[in-house]
Amino acid sequence: MADIVFIVDQSGSMQAKHFQLVRQFIYRIVDGLDVSSKKVRVGIVLYSDAAKAVVYLNSIKEKDDILQFIKMLPYQEGSTKTGAALNFTREYMFSKSTGSRKSQGVQQLAVLITNSKSQDDVSIASVALRRTGVTVYAVGVKDADPNELRQIASHPARKYVFKADSLAKLEKSLQKLLCYNIIRAVFAVPVRSFNIKTGNH
């Protein structure tokens, strides 16, 4: 069981042809998960100048329906406001009213995908998101800033940061890691250390 929100860069730097690859990447990741209202729930945030929820965790309950929706995700140019997107996700996506099962002890995961450096600050926003108990994966392709990805992601970076020239190289490794972490949390007693200063866990 897990609640997973994909935070997807759709700014001008992404370009339409690359955004099509992002669609395929998310499609294949979701297709490999056991998606249903009682198991893995999926939400999607798209962002450029501003962030918007296109799928809440409780919007689409059937796996086939969400896969069809992913195929039609719209591309929109604009600037890259990753910090604002992280804040939006924290405020509106991981809440009980939009389908989060945090109060039931279900894992809360965010997967941010970007290909460029943010035009606003990400440090405060990423710490605030992690402090709510969300595990954050940062996926960077092409011109994404490795240092910024490390700021965004949960710690240690080697476990939660992915950087490559192509999404194809990331797909299987990220899918395996997501599945592994979900399974481990379900069948093991979770023991977490929490650093109030940095919000790492």
Q: How far apart are CA 137 and CA 178, in angstroms?
A: 9
Asked, for residue 147, whether it belongs to a domain, the answer is yes
Q: Could you tell me which residues come within 8 angstroms of residue 102 by beta carbon, excluding any fewer than 6 positions away? A: 3, 94, 96, 108, 133
Q: Could you tell me which residues come within 8 angstroms of residue 119 by beta carbon, excluding any fewer than 6 positions away? A: 79, 80, 81
Prior bond of 190 cis (ω within 30°): no
Asked, for residue 197, whether it belongs to a domain, the answer is no
Asked, for residue 200, whether it belongs to a domain, the answer is no
- Residue 161 in contact with residue 153, Cβ under 8 Å? yes
In angstroms, the Cα distances linking 64 to 29, 43, 69 are: 13, 14, 9
Residue 170: per-residue pLDDT: 65
Q: How far apart are the first and last CA of the chain?
A: 19
- Residue 79 in contact with residue 11, Cβ under 8 Å? yes
CATH of the domain at 124: 3.40.50.410
Q: Could you tell me which residues come within 8 angstroms of residue 2 by beta carbon, excluding any fewer than 6 positions away? A: 39, 40, 41, 106, 107, 108, 109, 178, 182, 185
Q: How far apart are CA 23 and CA 177, in angstroms?
A: 19
Asked, for residue 118, whether it belongs to a domain, the answer is yes
Instruction: Walk along the chain (201 residues) and give the pLDDT tens digit of each residue.
Output: 899 999 999 887 777 777 888 888 889 889 888 899 999 999 999 999 999 999 999 999 899 999 999 999 988 888 899 999 999 999 999 999 999 999 999 999 999 999 889 999 999 999 999 999 999 999 888 788 999 999 999 999 888 888 776 566 666 666 666 666 665 555 444 444 334 344 454
Domain residues for 44?
2-187
Please give the model's pTM, rounded to 2 decimal places: 0.85
> Into how many domains does the chain fold?
1
Asked, for residue 201, whether it belongs to a domain, the answer is no
Q: Could you tell me which residues come within 8 angstroms of residue 3 by beta carbon, excluding any fewer than 6 positions away? A: 40, 41, 43, 57, 94, 99, 100, 101, 102, 106, 107, 108, 109
Asked, for residue 114, whether it belongs to a domain, the answer is yes
